[in-house]
């Protein structure tokens, strides 16, 4: 019988069935529907702008009627206010760095500040009258401390600060000024007063004195003690002035004994000023950046330039500077950056804000909102089940990752100048080396100024020097010591010695004064007074002629109050010495909310050529201090 090959296909039925496949598919579909896999995740459904009232809450403008009762406040005329500032600017109170203690070399200081103190005494006669309720004290020779004692000693005092000194004028730039730097020139065409100190800081010194003078003339009697504190070397870190005044006040009143401090600070921005994005806004600073000056010295063998080493001390210092500038501090936003973020959020609706920046702010607002415990129940209801399960498995880090991602997006949307204000900065401001072109430089020095972001510290800046300069020292064969630590010891091959150390005052950022929550009553009251003083619909105060002696118009008839936001002061003030006295410290520069007729932003000319201030700023500053004293006298801080 012939054998047959097996068939390719068998007639035997397979053991499997299509029915289980159908059941499995149905089960998968049911699970996907239960997980709500087709429902969009929460992140994609909520990127809608929150109301400005939520992200930038505003206080009602302060109403002084109850505080004043029947009392009518006399205010100085526009002409009087302008003349006072003009005269103050004409007295040169320039102070340099590193001046000796006034107890050791009194003549240098007396020549500058004794004439200014005499002018103040003559210009404000009621404050200095024999029977005046205001007392004047000199602290460490030239620190001015005025005390108007209140009737209720249980109320913590209000301290208004300023400083008498100004930054020196570079002699080779004196002829570049539109008007001479110490002329105090009153320009009626542009409605400005010109000169060094017209803004920083005689504007606020004269205005605060004027407010007390006018309150005395009006018969005002404070319940709360009012103190005026004027240092005399703020531009040189305040070692001789503010530090002594702060200790004097602490000895008299005790630690944490002051209700509120208001010092110089960020200004009122007009709609054309950088950072306003077209929204007039006032910026009382609740903190300020830390500060650190670094002194770098490179010493090397001298000799004739015909026999140079591989690197001179100037070459080594140049490489160090180049390394620093090639590695700027990173752009970061930390939890401590909240005041700066709040400022951006308060201008989010500005007509000049770029769309990408506005969208980045909205993303950050929602990322922070979703991280709040109060949002947990709403998030849970709004999420599809698959996202609930995923977030449950990643709860510990999800919200922080979302916030960090939104912060990175925000940094990318910011322009370079704003990123600079947020991060730790470095500026090589001084450098010197060598004495002759054919002699090897034996010593080269450089100074670097740092303004330290609120999330960083002095130690972190020093650590960065260690990590950047140590490899360079090994490569270029120089010994290196940083802040007393010998990181690269000298050897037979050493070409130079480099020492990097702190110079002068080194300060970290202190915690921000409360601007929200139960401890923020002082900030809220300050905001109310600012909104009482500045109105967007109020035209600028002007002076028609130097013979005109009219009173400034009242602000009561205007309705559209300016917006207020907390901010971080990017420079440093004398308040750095006052933190033992209170945690309610604000830095605010009362000025005009209107663009200057010169077309120049006032803060671009502080510490440089053509410092000037508008007449409206002078009047508004005096009005602000008067309103603040009245409000703080009546309210709780």
Say whether 263 counts as a known binding-site residue.
Answer: yes
Q: Which of 233, 234, 287, 288 is catalytic?
A: 234
Residue with tokens 């002051």: 258
Residues 6 or more apart from 216 whose CB is under 8 A from it?
126, 127, 132, 133, 134
Say whether 74 counts as a known binding-site residue.
Answer: no
234 has catalytic annotation: yes
Q: How far apart are CA 141 and CA 17, in angstroms?
A: 103
Please tell me whether residue 187 adopts helix, strand or coil conformation.
strand
Of the chain, the end-to-end C-alpha distance in Å amounts to 117
Query: Is residue 104 classed exposed, middle or buried when 0-12, 13-18 and 19+ CB atoms within 10 A define those classes?
Result: exposed
Please tell me whether residue 31 adopts helix, strand or coil conformation.
helix
Q: How far apart are CA 143 and CA 419, in angstroms?
A: 37
Say whether 483 counts as a known binding-site residue.
Answer: no
- Written as six digits, the tokens of 331 are 């752009």
Please tell me whether residue 136 adopts helix, strand or coil conformation.
strand
Residues 6 or more apart from 460 whose CB is under 8 A from it?
424, 452
Query: Is residue 1 classed exposed, middle or buried when 0-12, 13-18 and 19+ CB atoms within 10 A define those classes?
Result: exposed
Residue 462: C-alpha distances to residues 292, 326, 458 (Å): 10, 17, 6
Q: How far apart are CA 278 and CA 258, in angstroms?
A: 36
Burial code (b: 16+ CB inside 10 Å, e: under 16) for 235-260 equals: bbbbbbbbbbbbebbbeebeeeebbb
Please tell me whether residue 80 adopts helix, strand or coil conformation.
helix
Q: How far apart are CA 264 and CA 589, in angstroms?
A: 5
Q: How far apart are CA 514 and CA 583, in angstroms?
A: 8
Total residue length of the chain: 637
With CA atoms as reference, report the closest residue to 515 among 346, 295, 300: 346
Residues pairing with 427 in the sheet: 449
With CA atoms as reference, report the closest residue to 418 among 288, 281, 532, 275: 275
Contact 494, 476 (CB under 8 A): no
The three-point CA angle 597-598-600 to 5° equals: 115
Say whether 537 counts as a known binding-site residue.
Answer: no
Say whether 187 counts as a known binding-site residue.
Answer: no
Q: Which of 165, 213, 288, 365 is catalytic?
A: 165
Contact 364, 46 (CB under 8 A): no
CA 577 from centroid of its chain's CA atoms = 16
Residues 6 or more apart from 567 whose CB is under 8 A from it?
266, 283, 284, 285, 286, 339, 340, 342, 343
Residues pairing with 135 in the sheet: 147
- Written as six digits, the tokens of 550 are 């009219």
Q: How far apart are CA 603 and CA 606, in angstroms?
A: 5
Residues pairing with 227 in the sheet: 147, 159
Residues pairing with 478 in the sheet: 496
Q: How far apart are CA 548 and CA 553, in angstroms?
A: 14
Beta-carbon neighbour count of residue 129 at 10 Å? 11
Residues pairing with 439 in the sheet: 304
Contact 35, 28 (CB under 8 A): no
Active site residues: 165, 234
Known binding-site residue numbers: 163, 200, 235, 263, 607
Known binding-site residue numbers for Zn(2+): 163, 200, 235, 263, 607
């Amino acid at each position: 019988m012939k054998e047959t090959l097996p068939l390719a296909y068998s007639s035997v039925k397979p053991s499997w069935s299509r029915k289980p496949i159908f059941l499995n598919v149905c089960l998968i579909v049911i699970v996907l529907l239960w997980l709500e896999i087709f429902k969009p995740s929460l992140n994609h459904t909520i990127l809608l702008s929150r109301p400005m009232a939520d992200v930038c809450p505003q206080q009602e403008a302060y109403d002084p009627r109850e505080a004043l009762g029947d009392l009518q406040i006399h205010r100085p005329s526009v002409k009087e206010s302008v003349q006072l500032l003009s005269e103050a600017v004409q007295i040169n109170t320039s102070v340099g760095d590193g001046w000796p203690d006034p107890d050791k070399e009194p003549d240098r200081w007396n020549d500058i500040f004794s004439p200014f103190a005499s002018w103040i005494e003559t210009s404000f006669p009621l404050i200095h009258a024999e029977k005046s309720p205001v007392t004047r004290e000199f602290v460490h020779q030239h620190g001015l401390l005025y005390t108007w004692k209140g009737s209720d000693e249980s109320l913590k005092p209000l301290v208004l600060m300023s400083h008498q000194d100004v930054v020196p004028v570079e002699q080779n730039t004196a002829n570049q000024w539109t008007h001479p730097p110490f002329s105090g020139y009153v320009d009626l065409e542009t409605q400005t007063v010109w000169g060094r100190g017209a803004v920083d800081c005689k504007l606020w010194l004269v205005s605060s004195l004027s407010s007390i003078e006018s309150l005395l003339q009006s018969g005002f009697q404070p319940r709360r003690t009012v103190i005026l504190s004027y240092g005399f070397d703020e531009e040189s870190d305040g070692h001789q002035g503010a530090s002594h005044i702060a200790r004097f006040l602490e000895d008299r009143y005790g630690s944490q004994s002051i209700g509120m401090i208001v010092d110089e600070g960020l200004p009122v921005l007009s709609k054309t000023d950088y950072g306003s994005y077209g929204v007039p806004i006032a910026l009382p600073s609740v903190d300020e950046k830390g500060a650190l000056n670094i002194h770098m010295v490179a010493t090397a063998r001298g000799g004739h330039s015909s026999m140079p080493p591989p690197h001179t001390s100037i070459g080594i210092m140049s490489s160090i500077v180049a390394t620093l500038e090639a590695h700027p501090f990173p752009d970061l936003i930390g939890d401590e950056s909240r005041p700066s973020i709040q400022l951006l959020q308060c201008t989010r609706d500005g007509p000049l804000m770029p769309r990408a920046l506005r969208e980045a702010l909205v993303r950050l607002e929602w990322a922070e909102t979703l991280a709040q415990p109060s949002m947990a129940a709403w998030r849970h209801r709004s999420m599809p089940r698959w996202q609930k399960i995923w977030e449950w498995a990643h709860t510990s880090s999800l919200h922080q990752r979302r916030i960090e991602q939104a912060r990175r997006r925000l940094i990318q949307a910011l322009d370079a100048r704003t990123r600079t204000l947020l991060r730790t900065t470095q500026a090589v401001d001084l450098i010197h080396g060598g004495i002759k072109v054919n002699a090897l430089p034996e010593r080269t020095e450089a100074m670097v100024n740092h303004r330290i972001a609120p999330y960083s510290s002095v130690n972190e800046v020093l650590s960065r020097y260690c990590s950047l300069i140590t490899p360079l020292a090994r490569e270029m064969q120089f010994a290196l010591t940083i802040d007393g630590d010998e990181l690269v010891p000298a050897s037979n091959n050493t070409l130079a010695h480099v020492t990097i150390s702190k110079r002068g005052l080194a300060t970290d950022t202190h915690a921000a004064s409360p601007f929200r929550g139960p401890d923020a009553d002082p900030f809220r009251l300050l905001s109310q007074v600012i909104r009482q003083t500045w109105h967007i619909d109020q035209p600028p105060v002007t002076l028609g002629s130097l013979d005109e002696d009219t009173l400034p118009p009242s602000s009561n008839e205007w309705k559209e109050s300016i917006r207020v936001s907390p901010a971080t002061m990017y420079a440093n003030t004398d308040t750095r010495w006052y933190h033992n006295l209170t945690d309610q410290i604000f830095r605010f520069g009362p000025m005009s909310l209107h663009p200057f007729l010169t077309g120049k932003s006032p803060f671009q000319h502080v510490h440089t050529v053509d410092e000037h201030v508008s007449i409206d700023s002078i009047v508004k500053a005096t009005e602000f201090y008067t309103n603040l004293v009245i409000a703080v006298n009546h309210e709780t801080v």
